[in-house]
């Protein structure tokens, strides 16, 4: 353990400047646009004939000339199919396409618009619908189609999503190729497809690049991270959830993917995918050097230079097997640049250029994602600064100051620490090593604390422990969990609050006993009221209504208990709902649209600032605490 009194002289000097490693020159494209995209023409009496032509770029007119919308208007159409190769799994797909709209229709994508067949078939881009909503209007206007999978979003623990999401997107490719929505036949050139994604979707893109999951590497890093991997993952962008029951997990995936002669999983890709753009992605723990060496498609990685959430992009880029690779850094930006309109437009510029070159045969676009183009912009960087990240780059070798942060509770805890850790490092001049031990909220975390020897050992050595007590209608699943009872019957509410406080107290005492006489920074986080989550759940509406006071009763009582125990409370309830409980956190933009039960990056940043505002006071045991522990 480290004593806070010594922090005044502590500091870390980051020295990670390594010479850039420029990408191998791009191969020459031998196809012409006319060979790739045959031209047909259709018109109707009610809509003027299309006038779209290939965009002619004027190099001096705009610093990012392809960030402007192209000549095509945009339509979209959604449909649902079942993947019979995966037990009839339902996949909802949105197809975006060049459209023919009457004058005055505006620039927004028009559902059900008539397709513009003048340049069909158009190369096909693949992603989640979350990514497509941001980027598809740009690319489609430049003569692409786009197939996106609805419902794909950030997930909190590595689980089925790590293979289901890429397989869903590959199914969308097959579906659009063989069974497109009615009226869109012949629009998509599925033989010339590209994949793109940001953050979690960047992992999906990387998976479709030919990268192969390396179980040996993943399981070894979970048990004992090597210096390189540990340094890259101080922010813990991945976790080891599947490693705990690996055999059962691989049974779910299936032998078609998991079995091979060399021990690596089979690549989740399709030969029709000819180029990929993983943006600010993740996945080094899963793929490792061997898995990334299998990447055989042209790859353009774009990252924010100040991205502390996913620092492994340099490692990913270094080990990509394809010689046709490039990496562009947006200087002074962090992972949240995806929410900045100007940065989105710039990323769209590079996507139009990259996919235009590789999928449309636009050789004149090669310059617009080249090293020479990047060098002409002071706020861009080419290649990587730290091509090889090692522990020596990040952690001083003499008297290293690394603090362990253990995160306990349910998925409400699973994102904020990624922002809290860097704030901690900046304020105190130390490095944070995160141990994400959040679990299924229906399980009693107290059992984990008492029976999981690995977890107990981590807490006993940790400098920081942050946790919540999952609120499953009374924490311990008290009387309110009985679906046959109304919320008022059998003293349900009173009993459930008592159960919840009892569980909270036992967890606090167990954590105190584990950290021992050296103490630790212990923080208890309460929660918010997921009102919109209740809207689609009649059971929740029946039991708790849309009553902030019901949840507030639990957490206000918990805060009083924490104060008595000397543990600071991270008051998310007040942060999100206000001191009068009359504030709607959804109006603050703190939640994902597709997941009203979990905060987005903005919500997570707000919570991390709340942690920071509490300060860095240790909990130290009193004589009574030590006596009770014995």
CATH code for the domain in which residue 340 is found: 3.40.50.1820
Number of separate domains in the chain: 2
Q: Are residues 145 and 94 in the same domain?
A: yes
Provide the pairing of β-strand 431-438 with 402-409: parallel
Q: Are residues 118 and 209 in the same domain?
A: yes
pTM: 0.65
- Alpha-carbon span 463 to 239, nearest angstrom: 20
**The last residue of a domain, from among 319, 347, 382:** 382
**The last residue of a domain, from among 337, 358, 382:** 382
Q: Is residue 390 part of a domain?
A: no
CA 592 distance to own-chain centroid: 11
**pLDDT of res. 13:** 22
Instruction: Record the tokens describing residue 364, joined without a space.
Output: 């004149």
**pLDDT of res. 57:** 58
Pick the closest to residue 298 from 602, 29, 40 (CA basis).
29
Structure-derived torsion over alpha carbons of residues 601, 606, 611, 612, reported in degrees to the nearest 10 = 100
Q: Is residue 243 part of a domain?
A: yes
Q: Is residue 24 part of a domain?
A: no
- Alpha-carbon span 282 to 301, nearest angstrom: 11
Q: Is residue 143 part of a domain?
A: yes
Q: Is residue 36 part of a domain?
A: no
Length of the chain: 630
Q: Are residues 283 and 370 in the same domain?
A: yes
Contacts of 462 (CB under 8 A, 6+ apart): 403, 404, 405, 406, 435, 515, 520
- Alpha-carbon span 21 to 541, nearest angstrom: 57
**pLDDT of res. 149:** 96
Q: Is residue 312 part of a domain?
A: yes
Domain that holds residue 625: 4-12+398-629
Q: Are residues 430 and 364 in the same domain?
A: no
Q: Are residues 358 and 421 in the same domain?
A: no
- Alpha-carbon span 566 to 315, nearest angstrom: 43
494: domain CATH number is 3.40.50.1110
The b/e string for 554-590 (b: 16+ C-beta within 10 A; e otherwise) is: bbbebbebbeebebbbbbbbbbbbeeebeeebbeeeb
Contacts of 545 (CB under 8 A, 6+ apart): none
- Alpha-carbon span 497 to 592, nearest angstrom: 29
Contact call for residues 237 and 312 (beta carbons, < 8 A):
yes
Q: Are residues 164 and 104 in the same domain?
A: yes
Q: Are residues 494 and 465 in the same domain?
A: yes
The series of mean pLDDT values per 10 residues for the chain, 630 residues long, is 32 26 32 31 33 52 88 96 94 96 84 95 96 95 97 75 94 97 96 95 94 92 70 54 84 92 95 96 89 96 86 88 95 87 95 97 96 94 60 38 86 76 82 77 69 89 89 46 46 69 89 88 85 52 53 82 91 87 80 70 87 87 61
549 burial (CB, 10 Å; 0-12 / 13-18 / 19+) is exposed
**The last residue of a domain, from among 317, 349, 382:** 382
**pLDDT of res. 122:** 98
- Alpha-carbon span 580 to 300, nearest angstrom: 49
**pLDDT of res. 224:** 75
**pLDDT of res. 387:** 40
Task: List the alpha helices (DSSP H) in 326-394.
Answer: 341-359, 371-375, 391-394
Q: Are residues 302 and 203 in the same domain?
A: yes
Q: Are residues 359 and 483 in the same domain?
A: no
Q: Is residue 343 part of a domain?
A: yes
DSSP designation for 619: B
DSSP designation for 125: E
CA 439 distance to own-chain centroid: 18
Q: Is residue 21 part of a domain?
A: no
**pLDDT of res. 483:** 42
In what helix (H) or strand (E) does residue 133 lie, and over which residues does it extend? helix 129-140
Q: Find where tokens 């008290």 sit.
A: 478
Q: Are residues 488 and 348 in the same domain?
A: no
Q: Are residues 177 and 242 in the same domain?
A: yes
Q: CB neighbours (10 Å) of residue 379?
A: 12
Strand, coil or helix: what is 381? strand
**pLDDT of res. 242:** 82
Q: Are residues 244 and 332 in the same domain?
A: yes
């Amino acid at each position: 353990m480290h004593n806070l009194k010594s922090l005044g002289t502590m500091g870390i000097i980051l020295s990670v400047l390594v010479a850039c490693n420029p990408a191998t020159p791009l191969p020459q494209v031998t196809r012409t646009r006319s060979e790739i995209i045959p031209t047909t023409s259709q018109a109707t009496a009610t809509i003027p004939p299309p006038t779209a032509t290939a965009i002619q770029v004027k190099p001096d007119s705009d610093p990012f000339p392809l960030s402007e919308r192209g000549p095509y208007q945009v339509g979209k159409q959604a449909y649902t199919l079942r993947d019979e190769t995966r037990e009839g799994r339902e996949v909802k797909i949105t197809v975006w396409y060049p459209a023919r709209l009457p004058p005055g229709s505006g620039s927004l994508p028009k559902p059900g618009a008539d397709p513009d067949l003048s340049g069909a078939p158009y190369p096909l881009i693949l992603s989640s619908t979350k990514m497509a909503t941001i980027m598809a209007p740009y690319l489609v206007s430049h003569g692409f189609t786009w197939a996106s999978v609805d419902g794909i979003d950030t997930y909190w623990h590595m689980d089925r999503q790590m293979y289901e999401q890429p397989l869903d997107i590959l199914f969308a490719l097959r579906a659009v190729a063989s069974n497109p929505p009615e009226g869109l036949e012949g629009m998509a050139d599925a033989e010339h497809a590209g994949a793109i994604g940001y953050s979690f979707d960047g992992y999906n893109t990387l998976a479709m690049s030919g990268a192969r999951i390396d179980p040996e590497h993943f399981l070894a890093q979970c048990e004992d991270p090597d210096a390189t991997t540990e340094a890259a993952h101080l922010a813990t962008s991945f976790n080891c959830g599947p490693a705990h029951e690996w055999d059962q997990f691989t049974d779910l995936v299936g032998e078609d993917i998991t079995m091979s002669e060399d021990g690596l999983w089979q690549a989740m890709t399709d030969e029709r995918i000819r180029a990929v753009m993983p943006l600010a992605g993740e996945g080094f723990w899963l793929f490792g050097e061997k898995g990334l060496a299998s990447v055989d498609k042209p790859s353009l990685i774009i990252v924010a230079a100040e991205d502390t959430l996913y620092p492994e992009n340099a490692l990913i880029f270094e080990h990509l097997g394809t010689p046709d690779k490039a990496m562009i850094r947006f200087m002074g930006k962090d992972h949240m640049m995806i929410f900045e309109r100007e940065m989105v437009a710039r990323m769209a510029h590079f996507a139009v250029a990259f996919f235009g070159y590789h999928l449309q045969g636009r050789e004149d676009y090669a310059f617009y994602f080249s090293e020479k183009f990047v060098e002409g912009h002071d706020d861009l960087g080419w290649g990587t600064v730290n091509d090889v990240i090692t522990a020596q780059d990040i952690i001083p070798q003499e008297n290293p100051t690394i603090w362990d942060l253990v995160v306990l509770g349910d998925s409400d805890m699973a994102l904020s620490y990624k922002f809290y850790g860097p704030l901690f490092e900046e304020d105190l001049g130390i490095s944070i090593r995160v141990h994400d031990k959040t679990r299924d909220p229906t399980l009693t975390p107290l059992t984990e604390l008492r029976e999981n020897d690995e977890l107990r050992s981590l807490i006993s050595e940790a400098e920081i422990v942050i946790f919540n007590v999952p609120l499953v209608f009374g924490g311990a699943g008290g009387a309110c969990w009985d679906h046959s009872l109304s919320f008022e019957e059998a003293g349900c509410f009173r009993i459930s609050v008592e159960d919840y406080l009892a569980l909270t107290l036992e967890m606090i005492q167990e954590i105190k006993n584990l950290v021992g006489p050296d103490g630790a920074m212990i923080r208890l986080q309460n929660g918010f009221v997921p009102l919109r989550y209740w809207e689609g759940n009649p059971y929740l509406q029946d039991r708790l209504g849309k009553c902030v006071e019901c949840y507030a009763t639990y957490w206000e009582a918990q805060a009083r208990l924490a104060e008595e125990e000397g543990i600071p409370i991270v008051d998310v309830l007040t942060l999100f709902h206000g001191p009068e409980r009359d504030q709607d956190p959804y109006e603050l933009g703190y939640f994902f649209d597709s997941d009203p039960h979990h905060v987005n990056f903005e919500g997570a940043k707000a919570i991390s600032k709340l942690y920071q505002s509490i300060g860095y006071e240790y909990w130290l045991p009193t004589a009574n605490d030590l006596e009770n522990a014995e």
